[in-house]
Amino acid sequence: MARILVINSNTTEGVTRRIAEAAAAATPPGAEVTTITAPFGLPLIVTRADWLVAGPATLAGLAAHRGGFDAAVVACFGDPGVEAAREMFDVPVIGISEAAFHAACLLGRRFGIVSFTAALRPMFEDCLERSGLAARCAGFRMGPAFAGDPGQVAEERRGLLLELVRASVEEDGAEVVILAGGPLAGVAATLQPEVSVPLVDGTVAGVRLAAALAGMAPARRAVRARPLSGYPEGLGRLYGG
């Protein structure tokens, strides 16, 4: 039985519930999934500064469950802390951004990225560049500024998201569209009947890839050899958690 740990890198429990529902629905036979919330940090990850805080919070959450999972999924678009986690843990760690990009590339030649606020775009562009797949991106379609409950944004902006998806397809030429962001977990499935191209949910892609890699990737020794006991508490004090 492959044990998959999914972590929401922000502190909004409503977002964690959305992610947990999408992750549970995507979990294949022979795997089990546990979803947790970052132990400290911010209610929504929007700016690069937010992303920098989310990285240590993500690492702290993973460290608190070390030894209890065979693969991990960081359910925050932008993949905060993923590269560091791959050095620190001896199991596969998947970010939902990279998982979504690669899944989209297998479903079409060019993919569009849709999300609920344009404030996220610079962080998404950085993540896309790091993945090496920027040339496959047809463009971004993003909503206006958002200041409400992150756990409710998917419902509040459903109509807008559908408009943005259609614009990505009809105006940008996207053959696949990614619904980007942890708060949008589960939205792709609800919009898919109304859209003519495949929609990719990063949480779903991350869980499916994690389950596959948990059975494929050989065990390796983490670069960080010293024990991580006390690590979450230390990070919490550092960032005021």
**In terms of DSSP bridges, do strands 71-74 and 111-115 run parallel, antiparallel, or are they unpaired?**
unpaired
pLDDT of 24 reads: 97
Across the chain, mean pLDDT equals 90
Query: Domain range holding 52?
Result: 2-96+205-238
Residues above pLDDT 90, as percent of the chain:
82
Q: Which of 41, 33, 47 has its CA nearest to residue 9?
A: 41
Q: Which of 175, 173, 90, 81 has its CA nearest to residue 127?
A: 81
pLDDT of 224 reads: 52
218 and 153 within one domain:
no
Are the beta carbons of 209 and 91 closer than 8 angstroms?
no
213 and 161 within one domain:
no
* Tokens linked to 116: 């609920």
96-108 per-position pLDDT tens digit: 999 999 999 999 9
To the nearest 10°, the Cα dihedral for 233, 234, 235, 237? 90
pLDDT of 148 reads: 87
* Banded pLDDT at 64 (limits 50, 70, 90): very high
71 and 124 within one domain:
no
Which one of 37-46, 116-125, 209-218 scores highest in mean pLDDT? 37-46
Beta bridge partners of residue 71, listed in sequence order: 4
Are the beta carbons of 149 and 178 closer than 8 angstroms?
no
Question: In the predicted model, is pLDDT for residue 73 greater than 60?
Answer: yes
Question: In the predicted model, is pLDDT for residue 190 greater than 90?
Answer: yes
Torsion angles phi and psi, residue 143, rounded to 5: -80, 180
132 and 111 within one domain:
yes
53 and 19 within one domain:
yes
Are the beta carbons of 180 and 117 closer than 8 angstroms?
no
- CA distances to 94, 121, 197 from 192, rounded to whole Å, are 24, 23, 8
* Tokens linked to 82: 């993923």
189 and 103 within one domain:
yes
The C-alpha atoms of residue 199 and residue 240 are separated, in whole angstroms, by 38
pLDDT of 106 reads: 97
Task: State pTM to two decimals.
Answer: 0.90
Torsion angles phi and psi, residue 43, rounded to 5: -70, -20
105 and 92 within one domain:
no
pLDDT of 222 reads: 57
Q: Which of 5, 15, 18, 19 has its CA nearest to residue 63?
A: 5
169 and 127 within one domain:
yes
196 and 101 within one domain:
yes
pLDDT of 219 reads: 55
Q: What is the mean pLDDT of residues 117-121?
A: 90
91 and 209 within one domain:
yes
Q: What is the mean pLDDT of residues 128-144?
A: 95
Give me the CATH number covering residue 148.
3.40.50.12500
147-181 per-position pLDDT tens digit: 889 999 999 999 999 999 999 999 999 999 999 99
The amino acid occupying position 28 is: P
Q: What is the mean pLDDT of residues 10-23?
A: 97
92 and 103 within one domain:
no
Lowest mean pLDDT among 109-118, 177-186, 217-226: 217-226
117 and 69 within one domain:
no
Structural domain count, the chain? 2
Q: What is the DSSP letter of 145?
A: -
Q: Which of 30, 54, 31, 32 has its CA nearest to residue 181?
A: 54
The C-alpha atoms of residue 92 and residue 112 are separated, in whole angstroms, by 27
211-237 per-position pLDDT tens digit: 999 977 555 555 554 444 544 445 544
